Homo-oligomer: A and B are copies of this chain.
């Protein structure tokens, strides 16, 4: 059996605060958090675990860190509630699971994984998903557990902006925010996982690209595993995950070119955001067309790196 070199990458959203607004202390905290969340998956991979378990572990760590818009620290809808979405996909079998519009499980990514492993369905939403999560034995939290003061202030600022009919200040941080991870394990299997609180002050019921298989989440061992973050409606309309797969499969492009071109074309159409992706050669690519994207990765070189803005 060929042994593959494990590789893993994650993002904490493309809705990064602008360079002018970030303090050195905040920046250091973000780099440390990104590294820690990457290591949660990387140690498993190096120990021989599956890509699926590695991306699950990294996304669970991101969900627990209130710096990121997923799980604890999820943003508020315009009604002051939380509605979280998540998806996971196994590149070996194309098995996948997703949830949309849930508030309950501490780890929405485990809810997605339960849909994949314990149901015959791919996508469960709303109350039906909540009942399923409860019956699947997932750890549940009260709504108060997810909210943070910073997210509450962001909601109030956005609602005030709308009341006063002020122009959007262009800070994408309020609009975007998703976490995700992709990995290649020692057997050459790929997996992807994505989790999000959505957009601050979003219309209740709005679902973005994260739980849409082929848009914000995709994995196939023959091509790539990817997880996206950004303006979800654009990622759905351009089927971003599957479009990269298609260019690799049918046009013979390599991962870096296919992913880079798709993200650049999306930006030219007004769709801001980015993604992390890996293939079974251990190549990692992290293209984005926004001012920054919280990210961490360890490719076949074995070196761990973290970054926020463009190089």
> Which positions in A face B, CB cutoff 8 Å?
83, 94-96, 100-101, 119-132, 203-208, 212-215, 232-233, 236-239, 242-243, 245-247, 249-251
A contact patch SS? mixed
Closest partner residue, chain B, to A83 (CB atom): B128
- Which residues of B lie under 8 Å from residue A214 when comparing CB positions? 212, 214-215, 236, 239, 242
Q: Is the CB of A101 within 8 A of B121?
A: no
Q: Is the CB of B123 within 8 A of A101?
A: no
- Which residues of B lie under 8 Å from residue A206 when comparing CB positions? 121, 123-124, 128
- Which residues of B lie under 8 Å from residue A208 when comparing CB positions? 123
Partner of A246 from the list B123, B124, B207, B242 (CB cut-off 8 Å) is: B242
Q: How far is the CA of A239 from the CA of B239 in the complex (A)?
A: 9
- Which residues of B lie under 8 Å from residue A251 when comparing CB positions? 250-251
Q: How far is the CA of A173 from the CA of B158 in the complex (A)?
A: 48
- Which residues of B lie under 8 Å from residue A212 when comparing CB positions? 123, 212-214
Q: Is the CB of A122 within 8 A of B236?
A: yes
- Which residues of B lie under 8 Å from residue A213 when comparing CB positions? 212, 215, 236-237, 239
User: A125-B126, A214-B239 known; 7 other A-B pairs, CB under 8 Å?
Assistant: A124-B203, A124-B205, A132-B205, A212-B212, A212-B214, A214-B215, A249-B250
